[in-house]
Amino acid sequence: MRSNLIAGLDIGTANTCVVIGEVSNDPRRPGLTILGVGQARTGGLRGDLVTNIDGITESVRASMKEAELMAGVTVDRVYAGIGGDHIRASSSMGVVAISEDEVAQDDIDRVHIVARAVALPPDREMVHAIPQDYRVDHQRGIKDPLGMAGVRLEAEVFLVTCQITASANICKAVNRAGYRVQELVLEPLAGARAVLTEDEKEVGVAMIEIGAATTDVAAYYEGKVQHVSILPFGGATLTADLVRGLSVPFAEAHKTKEHFGVALAQLVDPRETVPLPGPVSGQTRRVARELIAHVIEQRLDEIFGIVRGELQGQGILDHLGAGIVLTGGTAATPGIVDLAQQVFGLPVRLGVPSEGLGGLADSVQRPRFAVAAGLALWGSDRFTETGRGASTVTSGVFTKLGTWLKEFF
């Protein structure tokens, strides 16, 4: 029986993606062996607003079953992503007196508690409290203070909060599908875990994950997350622009974007045209592909401009020595890297999950799987650190039924 199975579940606005992997037992070569991947169209979501819990439940169930079938295993718990404009992130400082001559684990635990002790409104809850760095007697930049001599210990902790109803709806949908949520993880942090390297985080890098309804930003410098934001624009915004610009239904605009979309109009032959439905049923008309590219370029340029202004306002833009990493489904648009380089004036690359992955890793080496793969890697990290959080079942409904009975009765 396998006891180290990890599942990452990304409930996106357009698609629900699942990655199932097995944590390596070899401490010399830690990593995650990809066993199965699944995806399904997401139902019951309009933007980040839940409109039908049953629709989300069915999307979770379908994508999980596909991944389990591919992997030849079943799991009983998932690491699920959470995002949306209700997310709030901030840094908090905690200070305690060192109880003995040197820092003990109890001192570290106490300073974490102090840093987390912030007043939250009744409709919000904590998602993450991530230690950034420590100070011992005002000495900065300490990663692990255990055993250091001193009298005063400070900790900087990155806090992430969400609306209680948002997290409750995710957990409810997952439970109804027959699984349980092991941990909720902020989607920008999960995406960054999958596509950024530790060297990039140290030098300075910003990940921009462009999904269907939102654009997630996570900026790192000196190995610490410096800024996280979620903007209400994404691939669906581009599609809506094409609906207005081309006078076509949403489904046709989406298909046109997928097949003929380009992020830079200068990359398109001005003489090239594409067929679109005409005003009368059964008729077609020819539209310049350059027009489609122009509509997409204008919106992406605006989105990148907003992100650039945000990073500049936070004082982070000048510290991005490793540049920008683009990921998410919309990042697969041809020419998007060139456009981002023009807007940011920095090195830009396309980010796909690869580092620390084995097995069927090629199945997730696409921008759209960045968050799902990052969630699985996050769970792998947790299991490696604590020995907890992994599924312990391999097949059969009876094992899962037993898990249900234990949980609900």
Residue whose C-alpha is closest to residue 248's, from 279, 273, 272, 274: 279
Structure tokens at 162: 């969400």
Chain mean position to CA 23 = 20
pLDDT of 360-384, one tens digit each? Answer: 999 999 999 999 999 999 999 999 8
Quote the DSSP letter at residue 372.
H
CA distance 342 to 361: 32
What the chain holds in terms of domains, given with CATH numbers, is: 90-162 (3.30.1490.110), 198-352 (3.30.420.40)
Residue 82: strand, helix, or coil = strand
H or E element in which residue 92 lies: strand 88-97
pLDDT of 210-225, one tens digit each? Answer: 999 999 999 999 999 9
Determine the pLDDT at residue 409: 43
Beta strands 284-288 and 273-277 are: antiparallel
One pLDDT digit (tens) per residue for the chain, 409 residues = 566 899 999 999 999 999 999 998 766 666 899 999 999 999 988 776 788 999 999 999 999 999 999 999 999 999 999 998 899 999 999 999 999 889 999 999 999 999 999 999 999 999 999 999 999 998 988 999 999 999 999 999 999 999 999 999 999 999 999 999 999 999 999 999 999 999 999 999 999 999 999 999 999 999 999 999 999 999 999 999 999 999 999 999 999 999 999 999 999 999 999 999 887 777 889 999 999 999 999 999 999 999 999 999 999 999 999 999 999 999 999 999 999 999 999 999 999 998 889 889 999 999 999 999 999 999 999 998 888 888 866 554 444 444 444 444 4
